[in-house]
Amino acid sequence: MELTGAQILLESLGREGVDVFFGFPGGAVIDIYHQIPNYPNLKHVLVRHEQGAIHMADGYARATGKVGVCLVTSGPGATNTVTGIATAYMDSIPVVIITGQVPTPLIGNDAFQEVDIVGITRPCTKHNYLVKDITKLAKTIKEAFFLAQSGRPGPVLIDLPKDLQQQKCVYSYPKKVSMRGYNPHYDPNVKQVRKVAELLCKAKHPVIYAGGGVISSGASKEVTKLAQTYGVPVTATLMGLGCFPGDDPMWLGMLGMHGTYAANHSISNADLILAVGARFDDRVTGKLSEFATKATMVHIDIDPTSIQKNVHVHVPIVADCRLFMEALNKEMAAIVEEGEGCPPKTKWLEQTAEWKAKHPLKYKPAAKGGMIKPQSVVEAIDKITKGDCIIATEVGQNQMWAAQFFNYKLPRTLLTSGGLGTMGYGFPAAIGAQAAFPEKLVIDVAGDGSIQMCIQELATAVCYNLPVKIVILNNGYLGMVRQWQELFYEKNYCNTCMDVAPDFVKLAEAYGAAGFRVTQAKDLEATLKEAFATPKPCIVDVVVDPEENVYPMVPAGKSLTEMILV
Partner 1 sequence: MRHILSILVENEPGVLSRVSGLFSGRGFNIETLNVAPTLEDGVSIMTISTVGDEQIIEQIIKQLRKLVTVIKVVDLTEVKNVEREMMLLKVSAEEGKRAEILRIVDVFRCKVVDVGFDELTIEITGTQDKLTALINLMQRFGIKEIARTGAVAMRRSMQ
Ligand X SMILES: Cc1ncc(C[n+]2csc(CCOP(=O)(O)OP(=O)(O)O)c2C)c(N)n1
Residues that bind partner 1 (CB under 8 A): 118-119, 122-123, 126-127, 130, 147, 179-182, 303-305, 308-309
Known catalytic membership, residue 113: yes
Contacts of 73 (CB under 8 A, 6+ apart): 24, 25, 26, 27, 28, 29, 99, 100, 113
Q: Which does 227 bind (CB under 5 to 8 A by kind): ligand X, partner 1, Mg ion, none?
A: none
Q: Which does 100 bind (CB under 5 to 8 A by kind): Mg ion, partner 1, ligand X, none?
A: none
Closest distance of CB 431 from ligand X, Å: 18
C-beta pairs of 407-411 under 8 Å, 24+ apart in sequence = 407/245, 407/246, 407/247, 407/382, 408/241, 408/242, 408/246, 409/242, 409/245, 409/246, 409/247, 410/220, 410/242, 411/214, 411/215, 411/218, 411/220, 411/242, 411/243
Q: Which CB atom, from 375 or from 398, has the smaller least distance to ligand X?
A: 398
Catalytic position from the list 11, 16, 50, 222: 50
Known catalytic membership, residue 340: no
Q: Which CB atom, from 31 or from 448, has the smaller least distance to ligand X?
A: 448
User: Out of 81, 475, 483, 496, which residue is the one contacting Mg ion (CB under 5 A)?
Assistant: 475
Q: Which CB atom, from 140 or from 399, has the smaller least distance to ligand X?
A: 399
Q: Which CB atom, from 9 or from 144, has the smaller least distance to partner 1?
A: 144
Closest distance of CB 396 from ligand X, Å: 2
Query: Residues 372 to 401: which contact Mg ion by CB under 5 A?
Result: none
Contacts of 40 (CB under 8 A, 6+ apart): none
Residues in touch with ligand X (CB under 6 A): 394-398, 421-423, 447-450, 473, 475, 477-481
| Integer Cα distance of 479 and 470 in angstroms | 18
Other beta carbons within 10 angstroms of residue 535's beta carbon come to 8
Closest distance of CB 87 from ligand X, Å: 10
Known catalytic membership, residue 56: no
Catalytic position from the list 112, 309, 364, 506: 112
User: Out of 155, 447, 515, 552, which residue is the one contacting Mg ion (CB under 5 A)?
Assistant: 447
Contacts of 191 (CB under 8 A, 6+ apart): none
Q: Which CB atom, from 45 or from 147, has the smaller least distance to partner 1?
A: 147
Known catalytic membership, residue 162: yes
Catalytic position from the list 66, 142, 162, 356: 162
- Cα distances (angstroms) measured from residue 289 to each of 283, 285, 292: 14, 9, 9
Query: Residues 133 to 192: which contact Mg ion by CB under 5 A?
Result: none
Q: Which does 395 bind (CB under 5 to 8 A by kind): ligand X, Mg ion, partner 1, none?
A: ligand X
Closest distance of CB 476 from Mg ion, Å: 7
| Integer Cα distance of 259 and 39 in angstroms | 47
Number of residue whose CB is nearest Mg ion: 447
Q: Which does 123 bind (CB under 5 to 8 A by kind): Mg ion, partner 1, ligand X, none?
A: partner 1
Contacts of 166 (CB under 8 A, 6+ apart): 4, 5, 6, 31
| Integer Cα distance of 397 and 530 in angstroms | 25
**479 binding Mg ion? (CB under 5 A):** yes
Q: Which CB atom, from 355 or from 477, has the smaller least distance to Mg ion?
A: 477
Q: Is 39 exposed, middle or buried (0-12, 13-18, 19+ CB in 10 A)?
A: middle
User: Out of 31, 143, 448, 545, which residue is the one contacting Mg ion (CB under 5 A)?
Assistant: 448
Q: Which CB atom, from 427 or from 532, has the smaller least distance to ligand X?
A: 427
Closest distance of CB 499 from Mg ion, Å: 12
Amino acid (one-letter) located at 324: F
Peptide bond into 161 cis (omega under 30): no
Sign of CA dihedral 195, 197, 202, 206: positive
Partner residues linked to 447 by β-bridges: 473
Closest distance of CB 319 from partner 1, Å: 15
Closest distance of CB 83 from ligand X, Å: 7
Q: Which CB atom, from 326 or from 448, has the smaller least distance to Mg ion?
A: 448
| Integer Cα distance of 122 and 19 in angstroms | 27
Radius of gyration of the chain (CA): 24
Closest distance of CB 276 from ligand X, Å: 27
Q: Which CB atom, from 500 or from 533, has the smaller least distance to Mg ion?
A: 500
The β-bridge relationship of strands 538-543 and 251-254 is: unpaired
| Integer Cα distance of 250 and 479 in angstroms | 32
Query: Residues 524 to 563: which contact Mg ion by CB under 5 A?
Result: none
Closest distance of CB 178 from partner 1, Å: 12
Of the CA atoms within 13 Å of residue 299, those in its CB half-sphere come to 20
Q: For the sheet containing 156-161, what is the strand order?
A: 43-46, 20-23, 68-72, 95-101, 156-161, 127-130
Q: In sequence order, which ranges of 80-133 are alpha helices (DSSP H)?
A: 82-90, 117-121
Q: Which does 422 bind (CB under 5 to 8 A by kind): Mg ion, ligand X, partner 1, none?
A: ligand X
Q: Which does 119 bind (CB under 5 to 8 A by kind): Mg ion, ligand X, partner 1, none?
A: partner 1
Known catalytic membership, residue 480: yes
Q: Which does 423 bind (CB under 5 to 8 A by kind): partner 1, ligand X, Mg ion, none?
A: ligand X
**444 binding Mg ion? (CB under 5 A):** no
Catalytic position from the list 297, 400, 423, 480: 480
Q: Where are the beta strands (DSSP E) in 407-475?
A: 414-415, 442-447, 469-474
- Cα distances (angstroms) measured from residue 238 to each of 48, 114, 258, 414: 29, 38, 10, 9
Query: Which are the catalytic amino acids?
Result: 50, 112-113, 162, 480
Applying CB under 5 A, the residues found at the interface with Mg ion are 447-449, 475, 477, 479
